[in-house]
Amino acid sequence: MASATESKGKHPDGMIRNILLLSCGWCFGVAAPFVQISTSAVVAQELVGTEYATVPLGVIMVVSAFSAGTVPMLSERYGTQRVYLSGALLGLFGATLCFSAVQWLEGSTAFALFVAGSFPQGITYACINGFRFTAVQLSTTDFAPKAISLV
């Protein structure tokens, strides 16, 4: 049965704003791994050679896969906003580690820190992938298909 707001074509307060915020967050969140994908192999090759060029990206994908099931459980327990904010801060922390490795260290030490910075970025990527599901949860039944398209 449709609620009163759905039948009149109105949206709950803040729904559109929240979905647009998720959309912007998704755009920035997905752009970051693409930057990481395009640069991590080059960085690894320069630091330790071609044998380990895909390790940082592999770490991001493996951590993201394991985190994909954990993020919804944590969201249920602690709240989606807290989990997504923590995921964003972890991504920032990981990016800072990667930047520090490239900027101030050399060789295998730099590579180790660069790989360590990839771990929290995998958690961030898992959070970003949940944004579409969150958009559906925040929207009315009638607006859900549009919410998915926006995010």
Quick one: pLDDT at residue 8?
52
With 70 as the cut, is the pLDDT of residue 145 above it? yes
Predicted TM-score (pTM) of this structure = 0.83
User: Which residue is listed with tokens 């602690």?
Assistant: 78
The closest of 69, 87, 68, 72 to 137, measured between CA atoms, is 72
Express each pLDDT in 79-108 by its tens digit.
999 999 999 999 999 999 999 999 999 999
Task: Give ∠ CA 25-28-33 in degrees, rounded to 5.
Answer: 125
Express each pLDDT in 40-67 by its tens digit.
999 999 999 899 999 999 999 999 999 9
Task: Give ∠ CA 84-132-79 in degrees, rounded to 5.
Answer: 35
Backbone angles phi, psi at 23, to 5 degrees: -60, -45
In eight-state DSSP terms, residue 140 is -
In this structure, what token pair is assigned to residue 145? 């298909």
**Which has more pLDDT, 16 or 2?**
16
Quick one: pLDDT at residue 36?
85
Q: In the predicted model, what is the mean pLDDT of the chain? A: 89
Quick one: pLDDT at residue 95?
93
